[in-house]
Structure 1
Amino acid sequence: MSSSTLTPVPSQPSSDPSSSSPAAPDKSGQVGRRGDRIVALDGLRFIAAFMVLLYHLAGRPTGGPSQAWGESVTEVFPQLQKVAQFGWLGVEMFFIISGFAICMSAWGRSLGDFFRSRVVRVYPAYWAAVLITFTVVSIWPMMRGPVRFNDMLLNLTMLHEPLGVTAMDGVYWTLWAELKFYLLFALVVAKGLTYRRVVTFCCAWTVAAVVAVSVDNPLLTEIVQPSAAPFFIAGIALYMVRRFGSDFTLWGIVGVSWLIAQHHAVYFPHGNVKKNVDTEQAIAITVFVTLVFVVIGAIAVGRLSWIRWRALTTAGLLTYPLYLLHQQIGWVLVYGLRRVLPTYVTLALVIAILLLAAYLVHRLVERPLSGRLRTALQHRPDPELDKTRR
């Protein structure tokens, strides 16, 4: 979970005079937005995070959830689990939202601005989550083995996965996927975002992701992320629809991405190992992926601009810290509370505690630290000092 999934600070849409096709007037204006936020996207972002949370607490039939509850969640939640088992699709939802939001936030910015915006948005809440999770699992290690202090320190870089170090929380794998997306998209941002360049990027990434599967090259697969790529690409193309208006090329990119995305979601979710699913599960996954594409497509063409509920904006702000905190800490809370409270009361209380923790991280850490970090990153050294160093 972007998290990429993540709440960017978008720039105001404007026409692009250097595009390869005439730029349609932007139809969105400020409709359906609070400030620079698309409110409907905030709602979708929170839904995605809540789906993943529910999957990790009541949907995944093996591993941590069952260990936390003391028996398989299929026994603990015989009805809820049938729905919650699909909660992992919230990650795919994050990826398509991230493609849309990152393209929107990067438009008109320099590479330096893009870099600073990502650091400011991604790291403050993440640092807090790593430290909080480390503290919790060190005091109550019943849900995982002891975590070495130096491994926790490396986790603070968000580069632990390529270096082969276990993440403080299993959900952090999506952050490395998001970082790789940022690095790829930075190649276009460095040249300046235009219609032609973004379309070329989407097409080239699609081809590379398909080729990576066919040649089975680990390095190429690591870079282009075949299973995640169609979701990111679709999100980018849908933002382009919002910015420039509908055209055959953009909808063609969205259509091809949907066809590839539903295939990967059914058979190769989050990796190269083929998943065996029955027909009923395959249909459910395909329907959900299609629904996500349709809803974000509706946002792109302005059909959901009437959504302006302040509660969704608040929910969107809590999404990232909630995603970062929910798994390991949620399991510890379940393990401790299930012995004294009824099952559904335990689940509801754990979710409430996690939401409160997410709010506190956002309010007490993310907001103030983001401001200070932004100021620090915007500092420019004195040119005269640079001359004396040389």
Structure 2
Amino acid sequence: MTASPLTTGAPSAAPDLVTPTRGPVIVGRSRGASSRLRALDGLRLLAALMVAAYHYGGRGGEIARAWGDSPAHQFPTAAPLFAYGCLGVQIFFVISGFVICLSGWGRTLRAFVASRVSRLYPAYWAAILLITAVFALPWVAYKALPPSEVLTNLTMLQQPLGAPRVLGVCWTLWAEMRFYALFALCVVLPGATRGRVVLFCAGWTLAAALAQAAHEPFLDTVLMPEYAPFFIGGIGLYLLHRYGARDPIAWATVLVSWLIGQHYAVAGLWHAPSATAFSYRSTAGIIAVVTVGFVLVGAVALGKLRWANWRWLTVAGALTYPFYLVHEHLGWVVVRALHLGVGLPSYATLPLTVGLMLLLAWLLHRFVERPVTPRLKRAIDPR
């Protein structure tokens, strides 16, 4: 997989993590109570930090120019661990499956579309324009894209259109958009029910396997065989959250998704030890990270992390998406300025860069997302 996760799923905005106030009893809470899943906010930020560690110290490419040397030389002990950070994307996708099922349940199609568009686009537009402006500065050693390609990137459809990307991580947003479309058409439009969601998970799993066997590019694009099990696994975990731990079909959904997901993760990220490769990930290590991701989201689903209810986790969840968008490319600029310009050692430059990117994420959240998101949402769905 290329150096881009989470995004991961790409992380969505924090308000989706409030549990429903009506419907079946949620594990660990009384009927009618409303409770925020703050631990899931924390997991999203953790996944974003994994991806940042990968981008800053777990791979080669452009980041080597920022360090002036290979990150493997800058972090000889940590770089082999940072290489696993790209799996934060798979964890994002599991979280996204959980959150989208939660937020889409009981909503109209228009409300669902308004929620997704208003969550994704404001910070994304700001990140596109900000990174383009910074890269256009004469003293910045990275080339900005031409105006036409920047404008194309504002649609978030640059990847299928074949346009160059302003954001390396935007490939994960394209995967998220396809998941939203499938879920909206198959579940939200007819109305979410347990049976319909189970049928969606089973049908998508089988269809994705057939698409893999058919080697048909269009089916691969629509059904995303390599990412589908992570989204589906997250949906299965939400069913456990909504209907309780005694749901064998939900458990089967999660188990099958984990089995298929670890296969794709190993197939995409493992290679034989090679002196020419930047890093090496073991099969056991890849499976372990994927498993931990499923287990942690499952612990949230089953109420095992209710104790992690600190308010600062809500802020962490709100910062995750804008941090994910800006950390890679603007991180190159900051690393270069601090390490090569100021002369800070690498182990001081890395946490300071992460801290500055989190500060920038807070500014984007405070001055872009908070004012623009509700206005955009009301414009799409005045109700």
Question: Could you tell me which of 367, 370, 374 is aligned with 2:370?
Answer: 367
Does the alignment pair 1:13 with 2:11? no
Match of 1:306 in 2: 307
CA contact (8 A) 2:132 2:144 kept: no
Match of 2:193 in 1: 194
For residues 131-210 of structure 1, what are the structure 2 equivalents within 5 Å? 131-139=129-137, 144-187=142-185, 188-210=187-209
Cα distance in 1 for partners of 2:303, 2:73 equals 43
Cα distance in 2 for partners of 1:36, 1:139 equals 46
Cα distance in 2 for partners of 1:293, 1:284 equals 14
Cα distance in 2 for partners of 1:155, 1:295 equals 34
Match of 1:249 in 2: 249
Shift of 1:143: 5.0
Cα distance in 2 for partners of 1:136, 1:285 equals 35
Per-residue CA deviation, residues 23-80 of structure 1 (Å, 9 max, x unaligned), is x53224379x9x65310100000000011111111111x2012121111111111011
1:26–1:100 Cα change, 3 Å: same
1:77–1:30 Cα change, 3 Å: farther
Does the alignment pair 1:95 with 2:93? yes
- The one-letter code of the counterpart of 2:148 is N
- The one-letter code of the counterpart of 1:13 is P
Cα distance in 2 for partners of 1:304, 1:249 equals 23
CA contact (8 A) 1:7 1:101 kept: no
CA contact (8 A) 1:14 1:26 kept: no
Cα distance in 1 for partners of 2:337, 2:27 equals 52
Number of residue pairs matched by the alignment:
365
Cα distance in 1 for partners of 2:90, 2:267 equals 13
Per-residue CA deviation, residues 171-225 of structure 1 (Å, 9 max, x unaligned), is 1110000000000001111000000100000001101111111111100001111
Per-residue CA deviation, residues 242-289 of structure 1 (Å, 9 max, x unaligned), is 1011311110111010001111111125xxxxx424596110110111
Cα distance in 2 for partners of 1:111, 1:2 equals 25
Q: Give the TM-score of the pair, scaled to structure 2.
A: 0.90
Cα distance in 1 for partners of 2:86, 2:155 equals 25
Per-residue CA deviation, residues 262-317 of structure 1 (Å, 9 max, x unaligned), is 11111125xxxxx4245961101101111111111111111111210112111111
Shift of 1:13: 2.8
Cα distance in 2 for partners of 1:3, 1:289 equals 14
1:362–1:280 Cα change, 3 Å: closer
Per-residue CA deviation, residues 347-381 of structure 1 (Å, 9 max, x unaligned), is 2221121111000000011101112212222337x
Match of 1:384 in 2: none
Moved more, 168-177 or 143-152: 143-152
- The one-letter code of the counterpart of 2:249 is T
Cα distance in 1 for partners of 2:242, 2:70 equals 47
Match of 1:259 in 2: 259
Match of 1:19 in 2: none
- The one-letter code of the counterpart of 2:11 is T
Identity of aligned residues (%): 46
1:150–1:124 Cα change, 3 Å: same
1:315–1:152 Cα change, 3 Å: same
CA contact (8 A) 2:9 2:94 kept: no
Shift of 1:15: 6.5
1:52–1:348 Cα change, 3 Å: same
Shift of 1:140: 5.2
Q: Give the TM-score of the pair, scaled to structure 1.
A: 0.89
For residues 1-390 of structure 1, what are the structure 2 equivalents within 5 Å? 1=7, 3-7=9-13, 9-10=15-16, 12-13=19-20, 25-29=25-29, 37-60=36-59, 62-139=60-137, 144-187=142-185, 188-246=187-245, 247-268=247-268, 275-277=270-272, 281-339=282-340, 340=342, 341-379=344-382
Cα distance in 1 for partners of 2:319, 2:192 equals 29
1:192–1:284 Cα change, 3 Å: same
Cα distance in 1 for partners of 2:12, 2:286 equals 23
Shift of 1:6: 1.2
1:8–1:253 Cα change, 3 Å: same
- The one-letter code of the counterpart of 1:135 is A
Larger Rg: 1
Cα distance in 1 for partners of 2:86, 2:156 equals 21
- The one-letter code of the counterpart of 2:153 is N
SS in 2 for 1:146: coil
Structure 1 residues not aligned, in runs of 5+: 17-23, 270-274, 381-390
Cα distance in 1 for partners of 2:252, 2:98 equals 16
Match of 1:385 in 2: none
Moved more, 96-105 or 75-84: 75-84
